[in-house]
Amino acid sequence: MSIQAGETMPSGSFGVMTESGPGTLSTDELFSGKKVVLLSVPGAFTPTCSLNHLPGFVEQADELLAEGVDTIACMAVNDVFVMHAWGKDRGVGDKVTMLADGNGDYVRALGLELDGTGFGMGMRGQRFAIVVDDGVATHVAVEEPGKLEVSKAEAILASL
């Protein structure tokens, strides 16, 4: 069963790129005492993710922060090097924290995995956005396959 609004986010960790190379960020470090928008994309450098989903959050970052969001984070089942390169390519700067869920452990813990084997992508994460307040999911927006409506930046901004 997938995460629902009102439930505590599962514990876990993500790969992140630091100044000294690959590192980790725990869910406690990410969520504790903060309001976080966690978006997930099926894959870095894929068309909808690169052209619409992630850029919307970069463009709307100031508005999200003005509504009390402390951190905007983007996760995908990709390695830390890919997520770092994708963030640079998309010009996220310090507006979006790029999180690698390399083996898909966190997306599985959320119950939001996606079988992309038919597209040669293996197991991935569904497209979604979750608003997390001090470790509790307060808004969960999971997209229907092939859609970008409920998890786009404008929809999440309207939900705050």
Catalytic residues: 49
Q: Is 114 exposed, middle or buried (0-12, 13-18, 19+ CB in 10 A)?
A: buried
**How far is 133 from 15, CA to CA, in rounded Å?**
21
